[in-house]
Structure 1
Amino acid sequence: MRIAHLILAHNNPQHLELLVKRLSYGEDAIFIHIDKKVDLIAFKHLEAYPNVVFVKNRVKVGWGAYSIVEATLSGFKEILAANLNFDVVNLLSGCDYPLKTPQLYHQFLQSNKGKIFMEFELMHSNWKEALCRIERYHLTNYEFKGKYALQNILNRILPKRRLPGNMVPVGRSQWFTAPAECIKYLVDFMDSTPGFKRFIEHTWAPDEFVFQTILYNSPYRAQMVNDNLRYIDWSEGKPSPKTFTIADKEKLLCCDKLFARKFDAANHSNVIQAIDDQLDNKGEQLSVISA
């Protein structure tokens, strides 16, 4: 089992280094996409790690824009171009952290070979609040004066949008773990279906549904498991999930997920240290979910 971790990051180089150290294992590789808006200088020291590769084709990422899909695809393409015969690709953010040792998540993924771990809810029934993301025109990915005024005009005069080919829209969290063959399918689909790509460019926050939708409407649907193996706390009701503190220690240490987000090593390093202590001292005794 050989894993390619793809990390999308834009800040917190201190935490990113902790994440790199914890993910480093065997022949696994860590591909890092740093937002093009950010100076690479603060992250350059990570090149000293032999298993780290910085994604060369960097993208300027905007919140809720198609650009984050572009950044992800850029990372996927570099992983595939490396020709290192990865079995699994694991998509992470720069503020994630493992809750299990590499040995344990390797064991889990080996025993669940071929399965795609991602969250997916049907937009037309279980995730209706997300329908406006695809039914309305969104110009979030563009930078020009008056774009929101134009967006409002388009949505007043034009009918609701529908995905090309009557595809069934599904999605939820953007983070997932999937076999490398599925990553190749995603890249090939986006490259060979320009109409779908144009449609997605005019949606909002497509990173949370585009890859799930492609795979759900493909021969890979039967391999999808509605669990992205991540512990994420949305209890604060904010646009972003809760940042874990030491108060979350017990929940994290008892969690059966493989990864969690989000963390802030600069301000809440003690909760990360608590995870490290448990992984280093009792790593092989931790429980792993069965799927």
Structure 2
Amino acid sequence: MCLNVTFLILAHDSVTRVCRLVEKILREDPDCKIVVHFDKKSGDEKYNVLKKKLSKYERCHVLANRISCGWGQWSLVEATLKMLRYAQQTCKADYYYLLSEHCYPTQPLSELKKHLSHHYGTNFIECEDSSWIKGGIREDRYLYWHFLNKRKYPSLHRWTYKCQKWLGLKRRVPDGLTIKFGSQWWCLTQEAIDFVLDREPRYRSFFKWVWIPDECFFSSVVALDKETSKPLTYYEFNEKGMPKVWSGVVHQQGFFFVRKYV
């Protein structure tokens, strides 16, 4: 079976790293398309350099409509949704593979396409209960409102959270929805993407104030209707929830990308 993959890349820092990943993917998969979102918070200078460098590749699209992304906030999900909506107009595919600029292939992409063809229709995304979370709060990520960027306002973020707990201001999970967790680096079918985009407006107001919604929004919505399998991007977290950093040649059986790669 000959299928098409659109790769979605969330980027925020290194023009060199993004170009390395884009060029690697385009070289190994002659049929794929790529959509890149470069964090607006990183400024126009890097963005303009990146757009110029990638403009020679017809199959690579760098979004002009960017948003400022805050770690642990809805903006990361919104940036992903922007790429998906753009892809529905210009880069429609059988599968959509979400990556960051810190991801890198561990196998030839021809092997990825063989795997997707063999398991066509499967959605590769984690949909786990809260025990998936290595450190910090678990259910409280969604049972209380998280209005502020924790990295920017750590004390105020903690104070507003503790005040809500003291006052008993728990939120209600939308009817019929079970919150699931997992890595945001998934590979989903067109059918699953259609399902997510159709239901996103219904759940936006809830997930907008969840702490780290990129680790539960897609997992929770996809789990409503789709069967899933393990993700295809390999990662490791330590007991404090910090990701392991990789360099050089990486081989992980059953995976096709690794994160974080330098």
Q: TM above 0.5, one fold?
A: yes
| Structure 2 counterpart of 1:253 | 251
1:1-291 to 2 correspondences below 5 Å:
1-24=3-26, 25-38=29-42, 39=44, 40-44=47-51, 45-82=53-90, 84-123=91-130, 129-140=137-148, 148=157, 149-191=159-201, 193=202, 196-218=203-225, 220=226, 223-225=227-229, 227-235=230-238, 237-246=239-248, 249=249, 252-253=250-251, 255-264=253-262
What does the per-residue CA deviation read over 1:126-179, in whole Å, with 9 as the maximum and x for residues that have no partner?
A: 6595211011221136999x9634444333324322311141111121110010
Structure-2 separation of matches of 1:85 and 1:76: 9
Structure-2 separation of matches of 1:199 and 1:253: 39
Structure 1 portions without partners, runs of 5+: 265-291
The amino acid that maps onto 2:21 is L
Give the Å deviation of 1:112.
Answer: 0.8
- Give the structure-2-normalised TM-score: 0.87
Structure-2 separation of matches of 1:253 and 1:152: 43
- Give the structure-1-normalised TM-score: 0.79
| Structure 2 counterpart of 1:274 | none
The higher radius of gyration belongs to: 1
Structure-2 separation of matches of 1:167 and 1:12: 37
RMSD: 2.4
Structure 2 portions without partners, runs of 5+: none
Q: Is the 8 A contact 2:37 2:66 kept in 1?
A: yes
The amino acid that maps onto 1:17 is C
What SS does the aligned partner of 1:130 have? coil
Structure-1 separation of matches of 2:57 and 2:83: 18
| Structure 2 counterpart of 1:283 | none
Structure-1 separation of matches of 2:116 and 2:35: 19
The amino acid that maps onto 2:98 is L
Q: Percent identity?
A: 27
Q: Bigger CA drift: 113-122 or 134-143?
A: 134-143
Q: Is the 8 A contact 2:93 2:190 kept in 1?
A: yes
Give the Å deviation of 1:238.
Answer: 4.7
Structure-2 separation of matches of 1:141 and 1:74: 21
Q: Is the 8 A contact 1:64 1:140 kept in 2?
A: no
Give the Å deviation of 1:233.
Answer: 2.4
